[in-house]
Amino acid sequence: MKDFSVFDSLIDSVFVIDEDRHIRYCNNAAASLCDSSVRRLSRGSMYFYEVIRINDESLFVNVRGTRGQHEPVPLTELDYQILKSGRVGKTQLLMQPFSSEDENLWVVILHDVTLEETLHVKYQGELQAKEVVIEELERAREQLEAYSKNLEQMVEERTLEVKRANLLLQATMNSLGQGFVIFGPQGVCESLYTKACEEILEGTPAGRPLWEVLRLEEDQSTSFKNWLQVAFAESLPFESLRDLAPSAYAHSQGRHIVLDYYPIRSEGGKISQLVLVATDKTAEIESQRQLEREKNRVQMVSKLIKSKEQFLGFIESTKIEIDHLRKNAQQNFSEDMSSRETSEVYRKLHTLEGEAGAFFIEELRQAARQLQHRLNEEGQLSPQDYDLLEESLEAFLASHRDLLRSLGLVGVKKVAIAQEDLEAFAQDLQAFGASSELALSFEKHFIHRPLEEMMSHLEDLAHNVAEKLGKELEPIQFQMQGVKVHPERFKNLIATLVHVFRNAVDHGIESPEEREMCGKSRAGRIEVQGEVFLQDGQSWLRLKILDDGQGINPERIRAKLEKIQGKSHWSQLSDERLIQYIFDPGFSSRDSIGEWSGRGIGLDALKAEVTQMNGRVWVESSPGQGAEMTLEVPLGLSYPTNQKVA
pLDDT digits (tens, 9 = 90+) for 196-222: 888 899 999 999 999 999 999 999 999
Residue 244 has pLDDT above 80, yes or no: yes
pLDDT of residue 89: 93
Q: How far apart are CA 127 and CA 291, in angstroms?
A: 44
Element holding 343 (H helix, E strand):
helix 339-358
pLDDT of residue 302: 73
What number does CATH give the domain 450-634?
Answer: 3.30.565.10
Under CATH, what is the fold of the domain 5-112?
Answer: Beta-Lactamase (3.30.450)
Residue 178, CA distances (Å) to 112, 188, 260, 280 in order: 17, 19, 11, 7
Residue-wise DSSP of 23-60: EEEE-HHHHHHTTS-HHHHTTS--BHHHHEEES-TTBT
CA dihedral 370, 374, 375, 376 (to 10 degrees): 100
CATH 3.30.565.10 domain residues, the chain = 450-634
Q: How far apart are CA 462 and CA 476, in angstroms?
A: 9
The stretch 114-142 carries a mean pLDDT of 78
CATH 1.20.120 domain residues, the chain = 289-416
CATH 3.30.450.20 domain residues, the chain = 5-112, 118-283
pLDDT of residue 6: 87
CB 427 within 8 A of CB 457: no
Among the listed residues 48, 37, 43, the one whose alpha carbon sits nearest the alpha carbon of residue 15: 48
Residue 163 has pLDDT above 60, yes or no: yes
Considering the segment(s) 118-283 as one domain, its CATH architecture is 2-Layer Sandwich (3.30)
Under CATH, what is the fold of the domain 289-416?
Answer: Four Helix Bundle (Hemerythrin (Met), subunit A) (1.20.120)
The H helix count followed by the E strand count for the chain is 24, 18
| DSSP 8-class letter at 402 | H
pLDDT of residue 241: 85
Rg (alpha carbons) of the chain, rounded to whole number: 33
CB 547 within 8 A of CB 524: yes
pLDDT of residue 307: 76
CA 310 to mean position of chain CA atoms: 27
What does the chain come to in residues? 646
Residue-wise DSSP of 229-262: HHHHHTSS-HHHHGGGS--EEE-TT--EEEEEEE
358 pLDDT tier (thresholds 50, 70, 90): confident
CB 348 within 8 A of CB 495: no
Q: Which of 380-384, 421-425, 536-540, 547-551 has the lowest mean pLDDT?
A: 421-425
pLDDT of residue 641: 43
Q: How far apart are CA 286 and CA 421, in angstroms?
A: 51
The stretch 251-270 carries a mean pLDDT of 90
Residue 334 has pLDDT above 70, yes or no: no
606 pLDDT tier (thresholds 50, 70, 90): very high
| Mean residue pLDDT across the chain | 84
